Amino acid sequence: MHEASLMENLLSIAQESLSGYNVIKINCMSVKAGRLANILPDALRFAFQSLAAEPFAGARLEIEVLPITARCLDCGTEYQSMNIPLVCSHCGSNVAEILSGSEVYLDSIDFDEK
């Protein structure tokens, strides 16, 4: 499980993104993780609680797991799936090109300014 090293990256990205603002309190940070990224939301939350210092400590961490998006190589349908093996929603084929699902990113930060 590498949630701790991802959290270190998240905190440094957040720090950088906020550098131009006069932050007094961070309310919420929103993370999106593709199904293929193998992120355990609980492990990520635990890493946040262990690693977050002021002003991040106490903020809410919102984690959304995004489905895999794929294109069927038999019939061309684009579809989404949380399950593997992928099964085309139109023709049932397993054969697909993966369009997204490995990403894990800090989507947005909600905070109060002075």
Angle at 79 between CA 65 and CA 74, to 5 degrees: 140
Of the pair 90, 112, the CB lying nearest another protein is at 112
Using the rule CB under 5 A, is 70 a contact of Zn ion?
no
* Binding of residue 9 to another protein (CB under 8 A): yes
CA 10 from chain centre, in angstroms, equals 10
- Verify binding: residue 107, another protein, rule CB under 8 A: yes
Contact partner at residue 90 from Zn ion, another protein, none, CB < 5 to 8 Å by partner kind: Zn ion
Q: Which residue in this structure is represented by tokens 């701790």?
A: 4
15 near another protein, rule: CB under 8 A: no
**Residue 9, CA distances (Å) to 15, 33, 51, 81, 112 in order:** 10, 14, 11, 28, 22
Residue 75 binds Zn ion (CB under 5 A): yes
Residue 2 as a binder of another protein (CB under 8 A): the answer is yes
**Cα distance from N-terminal residue to C-terminal residue, the chain:** 38
Residue closer to another protein, measured from CB, 23 or 78: 23
Q: Choose the stretch contacting another protein; rule: CB under 8 A; options: 46-54, 57-65, 94-102.
A: 94-102
Separation CA 72–CA 23 (nearest Å): 46
Q: List contacts with Zn ion (CB under 5 A).
A: 72, 74-75, 77, 88, 90-91, 93
